[in-house]
Amino acid sequence: MLPRSFRVASNVAARTAAVYTSTSTRHYAISRGRKQAQPEPDKYPRDEAINEALNISPCLVRHVNRETNKLEEPTDLFELLGRIDRKTEYVELVARTPDPIVKIVQRAVIHEIAEKKQAKKWTAARQRQTKELQLTWGAGPNDLQHKLDKAREELEDGHRVSIALLPKKGQTLPSLEQMHAKLQAAVDALKDVAHEWQPRELERNTAVIHLQGLEEPAPLPAVPRFERIQERGKLSKEERKQLKKELTQEQERNRKLERKLRRQSAKEQKKQKREGQQEDDDEEDDEDADERGLDASRR
């Protein structure tokens, strides 16, 4: 009788062999029942891959003469490859029967065609409309909500939207802080579907905000390219100095414009106040005249 250790080892080996056989059989059955995906042959193979695709010996091909645009006599593929500049050109198979036909392609031309296609695609994507909506500074909540709903619809359709807030005769103009607050409120109301793609405009009591969908390219910065290019570190010291000077000049122009708008707003408020005072004085004069006329009639 075998020792106990030998009996245990033989039992373990038997169980392992049974499991392995069962697993292998199941895997074989599954693999037989499933179609194996075959790699698709390259439709237009290039260079040495043409020889593998045609599988003929010798590999004679006819190529199109670029000057005459006519087919040349059959040439050995490897001889043709030796005549071209492999860095700037390649040979591509364009027809297999009745005779294999290839063409010599310049890489620069293909690159240029790809760039033109990409540019055309980009231009087509950029061909969107810009819708303009107008509001007055004194517009009520209902009018404001109606315009914002309209802007939301246009933005969801892929258009850009410019919202202009204008002064209206007879309405009291808000202060500069109130103007900025109203603009920001409009932007916040649409922030789930749009962002500003151009800096805000505020001049002569008229403000404009420019919005586009969130899926469009990132919004342009409010300041020129100084900050984002400086982060990349691709500017020389002189260029950074020049851009910083331009940025300072633009900030100074914005400060002057704000001061000008404040003065205009103050003047218009004073003018409206004087007109209101004049109307009150005219009403008092009319009342005095009516009283004098009444006294005269009593006499």
Report the CATH number that the domain containing residue 133 is assigned in CATH: 3.30.110.10
Domain region containing 162: 129-220
* pLDDT band at residue 220 using 50, 70 and 90 as cut-offs: very low
Q: Is residue 209 part of a domain?
A: yes
Q: Is residue 148 part of a domain?
A: yes
Do 105 and 151 fall within a single domain?
no
Do 135 and 209 fall within a single domain?
yes
Residue after which a domain boundary falls, among 62, 78, 109: 109
Instruction: Give the DSSP letter of residue 46.
Output: B
pLDDT at 93: 86
Residues 6+ apart with CB under 8 A from 155: 161, 190, 193, 194, 211, 212, 213
- The Cα 49–Cα 31 span in angstroms is 31
Q: Which helix (H) or strand (E) holds 213?
A: strand 206-213
Domains in the chain, number:
2
pLDDT at 41: 53
Does 16 have pLDDT greater than 60? no
Q: Is residue 67 part of a domain?
A: yes
Do 64 and 145 fall within a single domain?
no
Residue after which a domain boundary falls, among 174, 189, 220: 220
Do 92 and 174 fall within a single domain?
no
Q: Which residue has the higher pLDDT, 129 or 26?
A: 129
Of 132, 147, 130, nearest in space to 185 by CA: 147
Do 208 and 142 fall within a single domain?
yes
* C-beta separation of 176 from 265 below 8 A: yes
Do 146 and 181 fall within a single domain?
yes
Query: Six-digit token pair at 251?
Result: 């900030």
Do 211 and 145 fall within a single domain?
yes
Q: Is residue 66 part of a domain?
A: yes
* C-beta separation of 128 from 159 below 8 A: yes
Q: Which residue has the higher pLDDT, 91 or 281?
A: 91
Q: pLDDT by residue (tens digit) across 130-188? A: 889 999 998 888 888 999 999 999 888 888 899 999 998 888 888 888 889 999 999 99
Q: Is residue 170 part of a domain?
A: yes
Query: Six-digit token pair at 54?
Result: 């045609």
Do 140 and 209 fall within a single domain?
yes
Query: What's the whole-number mean pLDDT along residues 8-25?
Result: 50
* C-beta separation of 42 from 53 below 8 A: yes
Q: Is residue 83 part of a domain?
A: yes
Q: Is residue 167 part of a domain?
A: yes
Residue after which a domain boundary falls, among 81, 109, 137: 109
Q: Is residue 61 part of a domain?
A: yes
* pLDDT band at residue 47 using 50, 70 and 90 as cut-offs: confident
In this structure, of 124-128, 187-191, 220-224, the range with the lowest mean pLDDT score is: 220-224
The mean predicted confidence, pLDDT, of the chain is 74
